[in-house]
Amino acid sequence: PNLVLGGVQKSGTTMLHHLLASHPRIFFPRAPQEIHFFDLDENYRKGLGWYSDLFREWRGESVVGQTSPLYLYERNAAVRLHAARLDARFVFILRNPVDRAYSHYWHEVKYGWENLPFAEAIAREPERLERGAAARRHYSYLDRGRYHAQLEHFFRYFPVDRTLVVLHDDLQRNPDDLARRCAGFLGLPTEGGSPLRERSVPQNAAK
């Protein structure tokens, strides 16, 4: 891939993925939507051959993308991306960290991972994060909102000018305008109206 779409959980990554995938010159693998190769050890151990095979349906589109919202948060991801020598541009979408944390909490409640009241879950977050990678994925309500430290770490491995940071609020207010900004960043034409084809976006994708 020469496009990596990441960001933070509950920031609208799914909606942005579908907007970009509707561009005729951008290819994403149909499944899985979130590949999680460079961030999850169980996938990374499968090797670059397994990863490359996910793109086998590519038909010559100029931009080849992949989406994984954990690539910014998990520190190993930047190291592994750099080691793979991807000639890629990166788009990260961020959300108000308080809103993101609360949405993340209810996501974990919904799927049965969280049974504590919100205030107690926040108070116990530091000790929970010490339990390992799985706990970090489920209980990092505040930690994922420390965007400066995450971006600072990422920029140790990749140039700032190859990274576009966008906001959940802009996605909600004017998704077509945000898609045009992304298309321009990727070197794709933005003149003549929206760069997007008509395609439905899943309900609640930006929540």
Q: What is the pLDDT of residues 49-65, one digit of tens each?
A: 999 999 999 999 999 99
For the four alpha carbons of 110, 115, 119 and 120, in that order, the dihedral sign comes to: negative
Mean per-residue pLDDT, 69-73: 91
> pLDDT at position 191, please?
55
**All residues at 6 or more sequence positions from 181 whose CB lies less than 8 Å from its CB, including other chains:** 164, 166
Predicted confidence at residue 9, as pLDDT, reads 85
Per cent of the chain over pLDDT 90 is 76
What does each C-alpha distance from 151 to 8, 15, 126, 202 come to in angstroms? 11, 22, 21, 28
Beta-bridged to residue 4, according to DSSP, are: 66, 90
List, for residues 16-36, the tens digit of each pLDDT value.
Answer: 999 999 889 999 998 888 999
pLDDT band at 205 (very low <50, low <70, confident <90, very high): low
pLDDT the model gives residue 179: 87
Q: What percent of the chain has pLDDT over 70?
A: 91
Local confidence band at 206 (pLDDT 50, 70, 90 cut-offs): very low
Residue 113, pLDDT > 60, answer yes
Mean pLDDT over 143-148 rounds to 95
As a whole number, the mean pLDDT across the chain is 90
Work out the average pLDDT over 168-177. Answer: 92
Convert the pLDDT of each residue in 81-109 to its tens digit. 999 998 899 999 999 999 999 999 999 99
60 DSSP 8-state letter: S
Token duo for residue 74: 């998990």
